[in-house]
Amino acid sequence: MTDAPATPEKRYGTAGDYVQLLKPRIMMLVVFTAVAGLIAATGVTGQTMHPLMAAIAVLAVALGSGAAGAINMWYDSDIDQVMTRTSTRPIPSGAVPREEAIAMGMIMSGVSVLLMWLASNWLAAALLAFSIFYYGVIYTMWLKRSTPQNIVIGGGAGAFPPVIGWAAVTGNTPLDAWILFAITFFWTPPHFWALSLLAHSEYEKAGVPMLPVTHGAKATRLQMLVYTIVLAAVSMTPLVTGLGGWIYGVVTGGLNIAFLYYALRVWRSHAGDDGAPAADQKLARSMFLFSILYLFLVFAALIVEHAAGLHFPVGGL
């Protein structure tokens, strides 16, 4: 028996396969953070956007996210075939030909940027184009296979949507927009490394230099703790600038305590080590799931404050 993957059986792709190509779960988070940026910009600056134009701008972000996902799956189809977790994706499973995936990704990229430009302004369109390039080329083609800091630097791609949402409304990107960028940026390492602690043998098999593969699980757990501490500090800065109010402060403060608690427990555990207890592995998985909830609730708090008129600033620069 060899490790060589079996040639996938040819089957006809369904609409569901093409949807999977767009990485819908990532798309949902991307759209949500973009909407949060859009609403926060409206709340802070008082500038408004035509509701239909705002809806089209959000659609453009979703299409851009899907385009980047398709380009990623096109390029990574060789390693997706090797890893159990990703072997059922549309390309390795034989449902979607590689050339169709890249064609879809390129066309959707163009359509999304054009729609964003028409619906808002050139800055939002340029940021969207750059974020697709960042994920599809800088992260996927360069960083992912060359450095253990791949998801740290590559995390920038996923951090752009709230900035794009902000730019779509105002035509500029002030400090508050970049604070939202920083929250997502520093959230990515503990989020993704929690997953890679569980799947490091898969990454090793595929030859992807994830941190647990190159530096071991212990160093990864420490890095997760460090980034969670930085995230906790960064996520409270909206209170200083006035972007976040009391509700944001209470929600994010509570979430930070819980996230730090998870990070501390994972740091002290043996998650990711060879022969680690099942409870430790489960803990890493719980932290991964909690991190998704964390980002969702942090941005939801901002949306509630600015959309429902419940923004009561604590401070303000």
Partner 1 sequence: MSNDDLKPGEERFPEPAHLDAAHLVAQRRRNIWLGLALLGFVFLVGLTTFIRLSGSEENQANFYYNMNQSGGDAEAPALPPGMTPDQAAPPPNLSVEPVLEEDVIVEEEAPEQ
- Positions in the binding site for partner 1 (CB under 8 A): 12-13, 15, 18, 50, 52-53, 56, 59, 111, 114-115, 118-119
Q: How far is the CB of 168 from partner 1 (least distance, A)?
A: 12
Residue 36 Cβ vs partner 1, minimum distance, rounded to whole Å: 23
Tally of residues, the chain: 317
Nearer to partner 1, 13 or 245 (CB): 13
Q: Which is nearer to partner 1, 117 or 259 (CB)?
A: 117
CB of 14 to partner 1, least distance (A): 8
- Identity of the residue, 50 or 268, whose beta carbon is nearer to partner 1 in the bound complex: 50
* Shortest Å distance, C-beta 53 to partner 1: 6
Minimal distance in Å, beta carbon 99 to partner 1?
14
* Closer of 115 and 152 to partner 1 (Cβ): 115
**Nearest-angstrom CA–CA distance, 187 and 34:** 16
Question: Closest approach of Cβ 118 to partner 1, in Å?
Answer: 4
